[in-house]
Amino acid sequence: MGGIAGMVVASILDNNGAAITAGLITAVAAICLMLMTALLNQPRDEVAFDDRTAEEIEGRISHIVESGADEEDVRALVREAVRLGRSAR
């Protein structure tokens, strides 16, 4: 808002340099706001990976497979569960 007011006041006072400067600063600020909005609206799944939880899940998969379940079926089930969780957001 200050940038627009600066452009208006500078134009009224016939100071073209100040009006252009205020306009450029306002344009850069608008671009920064758009960039930050785009960056902050990314899915959170890609931000962090928890190694401990991954090891626990792998251990549980190993236990189920040792109990007699088919490993490919168990891993396919886990992949589908992950897809379902991601699509629910």
Question: Cβ neighbours of residue 64 under 8 Å, at least 6 residues apart?
Answer: 74
DSSP annotation of 68: T
Q: Cα–Cα distances in Å, from 75 out to 20, 45, 50, 54?
A: 60, 19, 18, 13
Same domain, 80 and 56: yes
Give the residue-averaged pLDDT of 44-51. 64
Residues 33 and 49 in one domain: no
Same domain, 59 and 27: no
Quick one: 52 and 24 in the same domain? Answer: no
- Cα 80 from Cα 82, distance rounded (Å): 5
Cβ neighbour number for residue 78 with a 10 Å cutoff:
15
Q: Indicate whether 7 and 24 sit together in one domain.
A: yes
The mean per-residue pLDDT over the stretch 43-55 comes to 71
Residue with structure tokens 């009006």?
19
| Count of domains observed in the chain | 2
Per-residue pLDDT tens over the stretch 64-80 = 999 999 999 999 999 99
Instruction: Verify that 23 and 36 share a domain, yes or no.
Output: yes
Instruction: Note down the domain range covering 52.
Output: 45-87
52 and 82 share one domain: yes
In the prediction, which pLDDT does 47 show?
Answer: 47
pLDDT of 44 > 70? The answer is: no
One domain, residues 50 and 79 = yes
Q: How far apart are the first and last CA of the chain?
A: 35
Residue 22 to residue 28: CA distance in whole angstroms: 10
Confidence of residue 46 (pLDDT cuts 50, 70, 90): low
Mean pLDDT taken over the chain: 86
In the predicted model, is pLDDT for residue 20 greater than 90? Answer: yes
